[in-house]
Chain A
């Protein structure tokens, strides 16, 4: 298996934020006055699993498109 560092180079902070925001509803913080920083991750629902599959595929396609676009741009003579 090849680690796709080429795709990783095209991952932006905005992409990460978008992915993280989509999964926030699963995190259940448990703030109390005496104990902070705790909580739990609720199990994936069926809808979460379906959504994750779609998002994961979309992210890969987005990064691949950027990679191809970048390749075209760099191949163009200056």
Chain B
């Protein structure tokens, strides 16, 4: 049985709603625990997002394809350089890298703002929605 089939099975259990009041706390949490074990190689923040994606898929609020895209994105590590397009792990902010510090942290500027944010490299994902552009 593949990982996707397992998660689809959990989702089908959730949809059958065997418990009277609430089912998410059973099946989503099983999925979350499986994800925590199977994605142990990811850093904590990435693992947390992967587990969250699983829980949302099992409860039917995240599309299967979006979950797969999330896994693919979270499993990629990047060697960031100036001008790379990035986004936060949840995709709530998109922007561009303006500086890479000597200690490995990256400074990036979210789109539409002049502010700069500093992040650990593992806490950013490549933003493949838009082409790379050098900052002005």
Residues of A at the B interface (CB closer than 8 Å) are 1-5, 7-8, 11, 15-16, 19-20, 23-24, 27, 29-31, 36-39, 41, 52-53, 56-57, 59-60, 63-64
Contacts and interface: CB of A to CB of B under 8 A. Distances in A.
Given A27-B24, A29-B22, A37-B17, A15 B33 contact: yes
Contact of A8 (B19, B38, B55, B76): B38
Contact of B38 (A3, A20, A27): A3
B111 to A, nearest CB: 25
Contacts of B55: 41
A20 B25 contact: yes
A19 to B, nearest CB: 4
Given A7-B40, A8-B38, 13 more contacts: A4-B39, A4-B40, A4-B41, A8-B37, A15-B33, A24-B25, A27-B22, A27-B24, A31-B22, A36-B17, A53-B44, A56-B44, A56-B47
